[in-house]
């Protein structure tokens, strides 16, 4: 089946540093989504991308939908302790019913 | 994920018992998705339902698992004769328009089979 390869698997950074993570696939997606999950909670939608090449920001978060439609990245600038959590990319295939395929997640730890 | 309500938050069942997980979508959303998450892994799609219809159940195990979304009331994910391997977090998501892929998740039900 379709897979999303998300990297890095984990990151341990200093407060104030910028963070970058990405997802790639061999399949073409028509939507890319980025979620954050805190322990014991459900994923919370951070950014949604709908067009190839689209660059979207949400506060300190910036995400881009790759031109090939097979990849996406998420950047977090000036990280703070509350950025700690697991970040997931998710993609929806063209013509799909809304079913999402998730990456394996990037665990982010921020040292104050 | 505000608005998608799942209950119970935690559920413990003995092997062989039945588990019933409930999900009420956000107001105005008629598309419901169920996902399963094993520890240290991403979410895996199970089933997509609209009111009274199963649209895509390609991720559902062939046996013991069933889902419904009745005209009235919440969506139910039912697992019969649970086994230890069913222990996981089960998340429900709802969407107003499925084609855009945007989905909002509930807080999940953590099922533990003992």
Is the predicted pLDDT of residue B2 greater than 70, yes or no?
Answer: no
A50, A110 in Cβ contact below 8 A? no
Query: What is the per-residue pLDDT across A12-30, written as a single tens digit (0 to 9) for each?
Result: 999 999 999 999 999 999 8
Q: Which of A43, A56, A93 should be substituted to probe chain B, the one whose Cβ sees the most B Cβ atoms within 10 Å?
A: A43
Residue contact B103–A97, C-beta within 8 A: no
Report d(CA A9, CA A107) in Å as an integer.
Answer: 6
Largest pairwise CA distance in chain B: 39
**Positive or negative: CA dihedral B73, B2, B7, B46:** positive
Residue B3 DSSP symbol: T
Query: A43: which chain B residues are within 8 Å (Cβ-Cβ)?
Result: 1, 43, 91, 105
Query: What is the per-residue pLDDT across B55-113, written as a single tens digit (0 to 9) for each?
Result: 999 999 999 999 999 999 999 999 999 999 999 999 999 988 776 667 899 999 999 99
Average pLDDT of chain A, as a whole number: 93
Residue contact A31–B101, C-beta within 8 A: yes
Residue B35: predicted pLDDT: 97
Q: Bigger pLDDT: A94 or B89?
A: B89
């Amino acid at each position: 089946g379709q897979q999303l390869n998300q990297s890095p698997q984990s990151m341990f950074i200093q407060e104030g540093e910028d963070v970058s993570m990405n997802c790639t696939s061999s399949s073409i997606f028509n939507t890319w989504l980025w979620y954050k999950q805190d322990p014991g909670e459900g994923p919370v939608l951070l950014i949604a991308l709908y067009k190839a090449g689209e660059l979207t920001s949400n506060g300190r978060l910036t995400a881009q939908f790759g031109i090939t439609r097979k990849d996406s990245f998420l950047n977090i600038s000036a990280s703070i302790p509350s950025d700690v959590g697991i970040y997931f990319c998710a993609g929806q295939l063209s013509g799909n019913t809304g079913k999402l395929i998730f990456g394996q997640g990037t665990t982010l730890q921020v040292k104050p | 994920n505000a608005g998608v309500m799942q209950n119970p938050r935690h559920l413990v069942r003995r092997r062989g018992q039945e588990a019933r997980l409930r999900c009420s979508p956000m107001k105005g959303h008629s598309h419901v998705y169920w996902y399963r998450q094993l520890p240290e892994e991403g979410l895996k799609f199970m089933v997509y339902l609209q009111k009274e219809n199963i649209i895509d159940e390609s991720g559902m195990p062939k046996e013991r698992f069933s889902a419904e979304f009745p005209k009235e009331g919440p969506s139910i994910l039912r697992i019969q004769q649970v086994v230890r391997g069913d222990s996981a977090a089960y998340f429900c998501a709802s969407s107003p328009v499925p084609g855009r892929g945007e989905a909002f998740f509930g807080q999940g039900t953590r099922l533990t089979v003992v």
